[in-house]
Structure 1
Amino acid sequence: MGLFNAFAGNLQQVSNDQLMQQYGPFLFSGEQITNGYQLIRDAVVFTNMRIIFIDKQGATGAKARYKTIHLDSIVDVEVETAGAIADDSEINITYLKDVYQRKTGAETLGEVTFEFPRKFDIAPVYRYLGELAMANRQRINAK
């Protein structure tokens, strides 16, 4: 079932030990992995500072591209829960692409969507990201 979900575009949770072994050298000082998910070769790693997207490239996957969304830039989160039969769950994150998070009226937003298998309990991930987005909005709008 895990391989089928991976081919269907769904992320599967991976142990923090395995993630640390593979991606630990790319963590910043003081950064810790909180959880992560694998999609065949690619991965998404959540840390206490950011979300890291690992895009393995080439036939062997030895080459990889690392993209980051800093947790303090997340401003909105949407969730779509799985249906009764074959639907998957999705979380859509909206984040500020601007380095300086000021009220300029010209913010640049980015979006990313994660798909999870139907049986995955998406509620804790949604609550975590949603609370983070609310705190970020309050912080940004208080300036």
Structure 2
Amino acid sequence: MGIISGLMGNASGTDVEKVKKEYGKLLGPNENVVQAYQWIRDLLIFTDYRLICVDIQGATGKKVIYHSIPYKSIRHFEVESTGYFDLDAELKIWIADMDKTPLVKTFSADADVYQVQALLAECIGKI
């Protein structure tokens, strides 16, 4: 991931093995990391059971929020691809029993937003 892209709030793919090593304590006994996308400090982790949003807070990064979203709670999602003038792509996820505002994540042009969409569709389809 480029530093400029990260500073702009755009995510790109990250090393799954590194994520497993660093965040393995969040996983259940039979849960595996399928894919992960990282911003400067924040992370979106796709496992075979759920989506985990890692939100690192504050200047020191000591406070971390782990938001776990079971795939069965995802009502629908939308992927907006990059355009000629818009160089980033967006993923919007609507979660059951939450307000009408979707969870929005922005991806850099080097992240394959179609792969993100296919992965999410596959994970949701398993439930």
Counterparts of 1:60 and 1:18 in 2: how far apart (Å)? 21
TM-score by length of 1: 0.77
Say whether the 8 Å CA contact 1:43–1:55 is kept in structure 2: yes
Structure-1 residue corresponding to 2:66: 66
Higher-Rg structure is 1
**Residue 114 of structure 2 corresponds to residue 120 of structure 1:** no
Moved segments of 4+, more than 4 Å: none
Q: Identity rate of aligned residues, in percent?
A: 31
User: 2:12–2:110: 8 Å Cα contact kept in structure 1?
Assistant: no
Which digits, 9 at most, give the CA deviation of each residue in 1:35-90, with x for residues without a partner? 11111111111101111111112322122111111111112111111012442111
Please give the alpha-carbon distance, in whole angstroms, between the structure 2 residues aligned to 1:10 and 1:31: 27
Instruction: Give the Å deviation of 1:29.
Output: 2.0
Counterparts of 2:97 and 2:68, CA distance in 1: 11
Aligned pairs, number: 127
Report the CA distance shift for 1:97/1:64 in structure 2 as closer, same or farther (over 3 A): same
State how far apart, in whole Å, the 2-side matches of 1:112 and 1:128 are. 17
**Secondary structure at the residue paired with 2:102?**
strand
Where does the alignment leave 5 or more consecutive residues of structure 2 unmatched? none
Listed as ranges, the gaps of 5+ residues in structure 1 are 99-107
Q: Does 1:46 align with 2:46?
A: yes
Please give the secondary structure, in 1, of the residue aligned with 2:3.
helix
